[in-house]
Amino acid sequence: MSDNAATMRLAMEEFCAGDFAAFDARLASDFVHTANPLFHREDEAPQFSSISERMASFAARGITARSRLVGIEALRPDAFVATMSLSSETPTGEGMSMLAGVVVTFDRAGRINHVHTYDTPGAARAAAATGCCDAHRRQAIRAA
């Protein structure tokens, strides 16, 4: 197992256990999390600078979020798709759940530099094949 693959597995296990600080300790300085539109409101920024910041946005609205890692697929040595069961519930009992695909990429130093949640693992794989999103493409240009 490559160093990035081992880090990926540990980071996703930390995330699912609710240890967001441990996950954040693995982040590159230019890290960005691009939120899935289903999980954020219009009054929120679509991107976050840490996983702790993202999860705090849920907590600030009284939303309980849960996750379970189903599997990890390596697309390249520096890019992975995690298949995750994600769910959220509001204080009024409304909620949603999904089998999501989460693109996670690493910089040259082996630090996580991008996380982007998609509605399905297939959508995540397709997006990763085309550069994921504008935020990720900007990171790639800066790194080149």
Q: DSSP states of 28-45 as a string?
A: EEEEEEEPPGGGS-TTS-
The DSSP-derived string for 50-61 is: SHHHHHHHHHHT
CATH number of the 3-143 domain: 3.10.450.50
- pTM for the complete prediction? 0.83
More confident residue, 34 or 24: 24
Phi, psi (rounded to 5 degrees) for 79: -145, 135
CA separation for the pair 43, 8 (Å, rounded):
31
User: What's the whole-number average pLDDT of the chain?
Assistant: 84
Tens of pLDDT, residue by residue over 85-100, are 999 898 999 988 989 9
